[in-house]
Structure 1
Amino acid sequence: MSRQPLLTLSRTRRALTASATVVALTGIALFSAGAGIAENSTPRTARNIPNLDQVKTEIAAYYGDIETEDGEHYASPESNYAEQVRRVEDQVRKSLNQAAVRADEGKPAIVVDVDDTTLLMYNFERRIGYDFTGRAQDEYLRSTDADPVFGMPDLVNRAHDENIAVFFVTGREEYQRDWSVRNLKNAGYDVPVGRKHFFLENTDNPPPYLECGSECTTVEYKSGTRKHIESRGYDILANVGDQYSDLKGGYADKTFKLPNPMYRTP
């Protein structure tokens, strides 16, 4: 399911505020029942609400914002964000290496999200001022290739080379498939990205294995898709995403949370 649009300033503030905690976390990767997102609560005073402009400034610093001559903004490979991502990726690699000894128990697999898991959308978020709309996303995906998340092409390609099947499960819509495939290939993902390995949400014609049909929540859609993958005989060794909704619902041996202070997908 696509991220809920940041239609108003209050929505933007809520998304930034709710995820600001992520910036302060370092090295947290393995998701567990005790690592859920704090529920939104009504601030008692203005002092309980971080200043929106200050939060944006802190996000830019966290990503090591690099502004090009044409006014575009990109994350730095030397940023705190990049360093935290590398620590998570190291934990994924370690987990996959440990699981290799039991690879004969089934067909090993890894599931990865797309936005801010395999493709870094910082440039897009800066361009739209963190004010998401479906139209803005379509225009960007149609015309622009996002950079890969630092280190993820190497992790994903190595998993594939070691006979671990790679599945992309994204909340992007089915009609965005061609743009997304193009971007993944151009970003250096040298793995199968056909329909058997790349799942996008299709609310107009949902697959029969999703009992919730076109009314799935993000958790239902993603966990239902993982269940379908495992029904094909795969053992999902690791599920990697930047949202807790990417990780909830089971059907993965281990789950790993990448940092994302820009938005939250419930």
Structure 2
Amino acid sequence: MNVRRWRTRAATTVAATAVITTAMSATTASGAASTAPVQTRIEAGAYATAAARQQAGSAALAGVDYRTWQRDVAAVIGTARPYIEQRTSAAPSGRKLAIVLDIDNTSLETDFHFFWEYPTPAVKPVLDLARYAHSRGVDVFFVTARPGIVQAPTAHNLRAVGYPVTGLYVRDLPDLFEEVSRYKTEKRGEIEAMGYTVIANIGNRPTDLVGGHAEKTFKLPDYDGRLS
């Protein structure tokens, strides 16, 4: 993600964190109902709304069409699924496999929604791929340039829309002084150091993908930086 853009968003996010935390607490306090129906309602409502809604958020200002973006994302993910199937079929028994996902406009539709639309809906093709990989024994990690202050609401958002979350890496204070690409490379290296083979790394910016520590990369569209 573009660092300057995230600085602007981070200032807004800090102001919104209290609101989001309150929403999370209310969800937790409601407790008695099963989480599965709630998750299903969130997903169904989010996807139906996204398909029918007028474009909003910073993507509209950048001139990125929602339906075109969805089509272009689906085309990339369409090549990733058979690779995941083949790679997991060929993996030796007991081998720890992982995929690494960026978050903004890779896992979540960040630029197509305002910050108060919480939880941010999942990018449906990526969600389906993550679930498919997880069903085949692959652990799912998220490495994002988001600052550590929003780690809890980010984790809650990912789980609320249905992602399996093995691990979430956000930028703590020392990481904020590093180039995003170097930070993300280091985190993939840490995942490998835990004994994983990162079979796929998926993101929408070059900084998500460079630096190695992944067998294969899949780049989603960012339209020359118009999406964060």
TM exceeding 0.5: yes
Q: CA deviation at 1:83?
A: 1.4
Q: Is 1:240 matched with 2:219?
A: no
Change (3 A) 1:221 1:264: farther
Equivalent pair of 1:121/1:146 in contact (CA under 8 Å): yes
Match of 2:211 among 227, 246, 249: 249
Match of 1:173 among 135, 147, 152: 147
Change (3 A) 1:173 1:256: same
Could you say what the CA RMSD is over the residues aligned between the two structures, in angstroms?
A: 3.3
Q: How many residues align?
A: 182
- Number of the residue aligned with 2:158: 184
Match of 2:53 among 66, 88, 113: 66
Q: CA deviation at 1:166?
A: 0.5
Q: How does 1:207-246 map to 2 (within 5 A)?
A: 215-246=177-208
Distance 2:74 2:102 in 1: 16
Match of 1:4, as an amino acid? R
Unaligned residue ranges in structure 2 (runs of 5+): 9-49
Q: CA deviation at 1:175?
A: 1.2
Change (3 A) 1:244 1:72: closer
Q: How does 1:130-209 map to 2 (within 5 A)?
A: 140=115, 144-189=118-163, 191-192=164-165, 197-203=167-173, 206=174
Q: Partner of 1:153: helix, strand, or coil?
A: helix
Unaligned residue ranges in structure 1 (runs of 5+): 9-62, 128-139, 207-212
Change (3 A) 1:164 1:6: closer
Q: Partner of 1:180: helix, strand, or coil?
A: helix
The 10-residue stretch of structure 1 (94-103 or 248-257) with the greater mean CA deviation from structure 2:
94-103
Q: How does 1:112-123 map to 2 (within 5 A)?
A: 112-123=101-112
Of structures 1 and 2, the larger Rg is shown by 1
- Number of the residue aligned with 1:88: 76
- Number of the residue aligned with 1:263: 226
Distance 1:163 1:7 in 2: 36
Change (3 A) 1:259 1:64: farther
What CA deviation, in whole Å up to 9, does each residue of 1:57-110 have, x standing for no partner? xxxxxx989328xx87999x9822111111111111111112123321731110
TM-score, with structure 1 as normaliser: 0.60
Change (3 A) 1:121 1:78: closer
Change (3 A) 1:121 1:146: same
Q: Partner of 2:143: helix, strand, or coil?
A: strand
Equivalent pair of 2:105/2:227 in contact (CA under 8 Å): no
Change (3 A) 1:182 1:2: farther
Distance 2:7 2:143 in 1: 25
Match of 1:238, as an amino acid? A
- Number of the residue aligned with 1:104: 92
TM-score, with structure 2 as normaliser: 0.69
Structure with more of its chain in helix, by fraction: 2
